[in-house]
Structure 1
């Protein structure tokens, strides 16, 4: 499937074939492509929690307004981010480059994020968003459907997965075989309403 088709056909599917299981290779492929998503300064701050334990998935479903896709889909992925990834051995983000490039970029990472809590959180959400879109488009290209979710209690889910204090949850994505197609699109705004050239 080409990129245009994947974008046009990707929908937020709510009902999944609970009997379908993705193969280990399919899951590996999905995340091998997800980690190619861009991040600022290549800090790769996303963390993907794949919830496999059935009891844990049930608890998360209860914390997500009992939305059945949490337990019915083949994969339940909690997209998290490490707020302090920028300061955790940042040399490793540029280990395959020359010493000259590392010496220039690594100090910039620290200067850019240090003491800027809001910027760190904003960066976490940007990174989760880009990785999430990569996951959903990859899933579509692989013949699967997906649904991004923010309808859950983040405090409860954080407790369930033992989220470290310096991490944050962006959102949840489920991936699987659709049991029912998505509802018709609600209605896209006209391009003229959202596309602005130069200034408002």
Structure 2
């Protein structure tokens, strides 16, 4: 069932860990969901993410030990590795030049933004911080888009990033952030309680 109400999607999203291993997801469906993920906000619109997709059982089996043998990695219809871009400052031209060509940005504004970006990426901690924060925005948007289209997901932090990089020849430009399984559940995911949000809010004075 497709859901068009945002708050219903948020309320019904669950971390599903038991999938029907016989359900396949078409690549065009994954592309559509990742396109939605790619519309997430990002610092300077540099889109500090890349997606490594595992969508057939042979590669999912290779991924299984990297994810400490979590069976959902094998049984899901696909697994998406969210990668953070440590060199997103290289995206300046492909991101800004089309806007200049369409008259939506001036060359002068691009130069101002370029200096800001270069200043940020010259700081030692910034590329990693930006990779994590911005790629995580895309990850959450992917999971919500998937739920809206009737797919369940689960974010996974328990995996070996170094082995993932080695086994699947991930460029040193990219940092593994998380894995996300996607598929159809064999059993309803457990609903989890949340802390009272009022205890997690401070009002600035």
Task: State the TM-score, normalized to the length of structure 2.
Answer: 0.90
2:106 to 86, 90, 98: 98
Deviation at 1:193, TM superposition (A): 1.4
Q: Is the 8 A contact 1:56 1:160 kept in 2?
A: no
**In 2 relative to 1, CA 89–124 (structure 1 residues): closer, same or farther, beyond 3 Å?**
closer
Distance 2:175 2:113 in 1: 25
- Note the residue ranges of structure 1 that are not aligned, 5 or more in a row: none
- Note the residue ranges of structure 2 that are not aligned, 5 or more in a row: 100-104
What residue in structure 2 maps to residue 119 of structure 1?
126
Distance 2:114 2:131 in 1: 18
1:1-200 matches, cutoff 5 A: 1=3, 2-86=5-89, 88-95=90-97, 96=99, 97-114=105-122, 116-185=123-192, 187-198=193-204
Q: CA RMSD in A?
A: 1.5
Deviation at 1:53, TM superposition (A): 4.8
Deviation at 1:59, TM superposition (A): 2.2
Q: Is the 8 A contact 2:14 2:191 kept in 1?
A: no
Deviation at 1:56, TM superposition (A): 2.7
**In 2 relative to 1, CA 68–129 (structure 1 residues): closer, same or farther, beyond 3 Å?**
same
Deviation at 1:22, TM superposition (A): 1.5
Q: How many residues align?
A: 196
Task: State the TM-score, normalized to the length of structure 1.
Answer: 0.92
Q: Is the 8 A contact 1:91 1:106 kept in 2?
A: no
Deviation at 1:24, TM superposition (A): 3.0
Higher mean Cα deviation, 7-16 or 188-197? Answer: 188-197
